[in-house]
Structure 1
């Protein structure tokens, strides 16, 4: 029996989750999201793109909101893993922040993020109650990760910070900067790697002038 025609009870209760099918659904959802087609895609279309039955799709994620949250959470987890790996041997706070900023900004200042933002705008109109969960799954997670780095630096007295959350939000805002506005209006091309790194470094310089401990 094919996956498309499988009974939802196939395999019986307690059957282990088929991770390959779960990843296929997430991959299909991300492909649609980054192409700007997820918001208008039906669950049937998502299931077809993933090569699974609609029963499997609903069983794994419940509904489209659940799938959206899982995709956002997965994107944040992927970036967090990259940052942790890069920072494992980072010798200085600047190196840690640079690794974080380059990883995050490469996504935020990309065409892919433009489509994600457009999708969230559409979903916010239709499902306003779900957007808080989307925030916690994505931006909230990244803010918490940055707060942990800044908090540790403040404990080492490298930074003078009264409000860790506000400081993290300041740096995140610097990394997004006006370049995001230019990209949104197609007023500039996507940043190359050298320009992206220079943008991240400049933001860190400004941040350090505000928060670097004196003495």
Structure 2
């Protein structure tokens, strides 16, 4: 009687590769969809269903990444700010003259806050309905507070190098960005300016703001 053939070894299964690239692509699609819809329709005018449809994902996927619409809005703001003004751009550059470094930061900051999507977001946050929600606070933590904290670290290093004399560094950091916004940004938000500043006018505005800041805090020799 012939012997039965030996059993075949079980096929070796390859370990499943994690779906990180796919997850990251979905997350980015959700970000982009949320930013577009928030700018076009405002926070209240956008639902998670709309964001999911715009991103080409399920609503469950949106919730699994961000939890709720408030968290998604805060994450979108944070992503926009970090992309337009990354921490590396706010960091000090040893050996670079202080005024030149401040001009670089000033140009990047003004470009960020004067972009159409930033103006639309600012107007949205200033509406009475939004003022009654946690969203302005979420925006503040994700955007201005991060920028000011990173810039304050630069000021601390320049104070230690005896280039600046600042009694209250966090206050000075806030003043720097307030100067850069100035009247041109207010006109953009209110829609009362003749037109956005051209490149030459922006450069003059940024330079004047930086020079005023340095007149206040540059160390007297």
TM-score (norm 1): 0.84
Instruction: Name the CA distance, whole Å, in 1 between partners of 2:207 and 2:44.
Output: 35
Indicate which of 196, 200, 204 corresponds to 2:210: 204
State the structure with more CA Rg: 2
Map 1:139-178 onto structure 2 (within 5 A). Answer: 139-178=144-183
1:93 aligns with 2:98: yes
Q: Which runs of 5+ in 2 are unaligned?
A: 1-17
Show the counterpart of 1:124: 130
Match of 1:84 in 2: 89
Q: Which moved more, 1:129-138 or 1:45-54?
A: 129-138
* Mapped contact 1:105–1:176 kept (Cα < 8 A): yes
CA displacement, residues 2-47 of structure 1 (integer Å, 9 cap, x when unaligned):
xxxxxxxxxxxx8647000000000111222343544411111111
Query: 1:111-130: CA deviations, max 9, x gaps?
Result: 32221112223463452x34
- Pair 1:67-2:72 in alignment: yes
Deviation of residue 67 (structure 1)? 0.4
Within 5 Å, which residues of 2 pair with 1:37-48?
37-48=42-53
Q: Cα RMSD between the aligned structures?
A: 2.5
For 1:190, the equivalent position in structure 2 comes to 196
- Supply the distance in 2 between the matched residues of 1:101 and 1:209 (Cα, whole angstroms): 16
Cα distance in 2 between the residues matched to 1:119 and 1:22: 24
1:117–1:85 distance in 2 versus 1, CA, 3 Å: closer
The question of whether the paired residues in 2 share the 8 Å contact of 1:98 and 1:201 is answered with yes
Most deviating of 168-177 and 104-113: 104-113
Q: Relative to 1, partners in 2 of residues 1:85 and 1:133: Cα closer, same or farther, differing over 3 Å?
A: closer
1:78-116 Cα shifts (integer Å, max 9, x gaps):
133275299658721112211111111112223322211
Q: Secondary structure at the match of 2:186?
A: helix
- Secondary structure of the residue that 1:167 maps to in structure 2? helix
SS at match of 2:163: coil
User: Residues 57 and 94 from structure 1, CA distance in 2 versus in 1: closer, same or farther, beyond 3 angstroms?
Assistant: same
Alpha-carbon separation, structure 2, partners of 1:179 and 1:113: 14
Report the secondary structure of 1:177's partner residue. helix
Give the alignment's TM-score, normalised by structure 2.
0.81
> Is residue 180–residue 205 contact of structure 2 (8 Å, CA) maintained in 1?
yes
